Chains A and B, each alone.
Chain A
């Protein structure tokens, strides 16, 4: 009862169960999927060589079917590790997708607030200290306690929406970045930086120390770049030798102790209609972004 196509199906199910995989893992999984299907029907002639190219092709083929469903397996480079990954992402933030989250509206609101604070963090640090993160629970409705907030924060980390560094600072993960790409670009156009080399959003990297220069690179892009050139791609100032130390950091390296001591999420009063286009396209994390907040007023959650 098995067919060669089952390899794709099993692989997809494996991907669905994980949401983000490194390319290396994807390659191993693909190999194992072929084994699994062959175990069910030995005479099947499945020829998928075990190399990076065939994984790429495989994913491209899968995307052809997924595209019609507004889902996509997005190849990406993880900002933290420099590894190549695939993210199974939802590409349309419609009413249907909003069903996906099993977080309560208050929890989603909390995530939204955290994301905002991370993206608008000063010094291009794109991270938030635990203290500041927990403090934000106060701006949500009264029943959302700090303890609950702590728990929810842990789940955000466990489920891959936020990353918590060794110093206890939260930042966005690859998954969040990919899933929320459109939302972030639309909502925070002035707060995000784009890599001069690959043009993707940069949350971890380096920037030119020259005033007003917009040269920004991902850490992994820079690693490759400096082998060829040692000057700023935009303004040509030297980036090598001693000057390398002058490079400014993007991401946690830029975090200045105490920078978010008094940070507060901007009060956003989003109209229901306005939100239509801006609702983030993701599956689990904030999809219910329609909420009315005025200062510390009551949050009225809409039932799931």
Chain B
């Protein structure tokens, strides 16, 4: 049974969908529903030992909201109890079954961050071999490869993922919430306009995807459904995340529609976490701000200054949840 769960976890992750508890109950447990805890623990063991991954429960919106308010109280009391979402945390089993959990899981790598960094680097040798291995007659455009240990380009849609991360970064540095409006400077749609990401612009996917492109609005909607982002109309923040439709912000800037706000969704907390995104922002901002000849020490100082700047807006940054 545990092995079935491992397979289910791997295959579900393949489609980038979270694994719901009901699916587990239906497909794996069948007639022994009470064995959940046991089966899960054993599956985790296999996942960790063989693959260096583990299943982590995504936090429900209710928990995220609670956290937000406790943070505002300058409490800094991080509720890890409900299960960390990102790649790799060994929480004691009890934490995975907190009643307020969202009962959906994602698979996450628990390898040391240094190893993962290494795995993302492009390597000349790997790249050359990959090029050599490309099938004859392969269209250069379809099979882009980067020569990293883990082939990210094979598994993810990098272009659209880039947009997601930009949004996550914008939301974070705007104080964890950003309005969905073109009117005010610095709000999401206004920035998007500058990036040529108006609602009807297209987000392109490579040949592995069955859609060639989606409009920006549709894509944002998809991200919200997948749990990466959370869209709520102003005033509805408490009700566990009302997922209203994302309005089509008209180019002319009509006032109907843009009364919503964007926040991070549970899946973003699970996959990357605030610290991760903050570091990402700080790193490239620092890189841009530094003089070309700047030494490592100066770069490091800039990095820290950037991080401080971010924290000035957000307060303490949480780790992967």
Contact = CB atoms under 8 A, between A and B. Distances in A.
A10 B115 contact: yes
A12 B208 contact: no
B285 interface: no
Interface string A228-244: 00000000000000000
A25 B119 contact: no
B28 A96 contact: yes
A2 B23 CA distance: 33
Given A36-B118, A102-B14, A13 B52 contact: yes
Nearest to A71: B7
Interface size class of A (residues with CB under 8 A): 35 or more
A90 to B, nearest CB: 8
A271 to B, nearest CB: 22
Contact of B137 (A68, A148, A151, A165): A165
B115 A163 contact: no
Contacts of B17: 102
A39 B114 contact: yes
A29 B155 CA distance: 17
Contacts of B151: 14, 17-18
B3 A70 contact: yes
Interface stretch (B76-84, B128-136, B258-266): B128-136
B126 A65 contact: no
A61 to B, nearest CB: 11
Contacts of A39: 114-115, 118
Given A9-B52, A96-B8, A158 B109 contact: no
A17 B155 contact: yes
A35 B149 CA distance: 11
Contacts of A97: 7, 11
Contacts of A178: none
B69 interface: no
B190 interface: no
Interface string B130-156: 101101110000110000011110110
Interface size class of B (residues with CB under 8 A): 35 or more
Given A6-B111, A13-B109, A159 B130 contact: no
Given A6-B112, A95-B27, A13 B130 contact: no
Contacts of A165: 137
Contacts of A200: none
A29 B126 contact: yes
B212 to A, nearest CB: 6
A154 B142 contact: yes
A54 interface: no
Contacts of B51: 9, 12-13, 16
A274 B267 CA distance: 40
Contacts of B52: 6, 9-10, 12-13
Contact of B3 (A9, A32, A68): A68
B15 A100 contact: yes
Given A96-B11, A103-B210, A166-B137, A157 B142 contact: yes
B91 interface: no
A36 to B, nearest CB: 4
B12 interface: yes
Given A13-B53, A151-B212, A283-B11, A37 B115 contact: yes
Interface in A68-90: 68-71, 80-81, 83, 90
A37 B111 CA distance: 9
B119 A83 contact: no
Main secondary structure of the interface of B (DSSP, over half): helix
Q: Which of A21, A22, A155 has the most CB of B within 10 A?
A: A155
B236 interface: no
B207 interface: yes
Interface string A85-124: 0000010101111011111100100000000000000000
Nearest to A148: B210
B209 interface: yes
A299 interface: no
A94 B155 CA distance: 23
Given A96-B4, A99-B11, A9 B50 contact: yes
B164 interface: no
A9 B135 CA distance: 28
13 contacts: A2-B114, A9-B52, A13-B53, A16-B10, A17-B151, A17-B154, A22-B133, A28-B129, A36-B149, A40-B112, A100-B15, A102-B15, A151-B211
Interface of A: 1-2, 5-6, 8-10, 12-14, 16-19, 21-22, 24-25, 28-29, 31-33, 35-37, 39-41, 65-66, 68-71, 80-81, 83, 90, 92, 94-97, 99-104, 107, 148, 151-152, 154-155, 157-159, 163-166, 283-284
Given A40-B118, A107-B210, 19 more contacts: A2-B111, A10-B119, A16-B10, A22-B133, A24-B132, A36-B114, A36-B149, A40-B115, A65-B49, A66-B50, A80-B136, A81-B135, A96-B4, A100-B11, A100-B12, A102-B17, A158-B142, A158-B206, A158-B208
Interface of B: 3-4, 6-8, 10-12, 14-17, 23, 27-28, 46, 49-53, 109, 111-112, 114-115, 118-119, 123, 125-126, 129-130, 132-133, 135-137, 142-143, 149-152, 154-155, 206-212
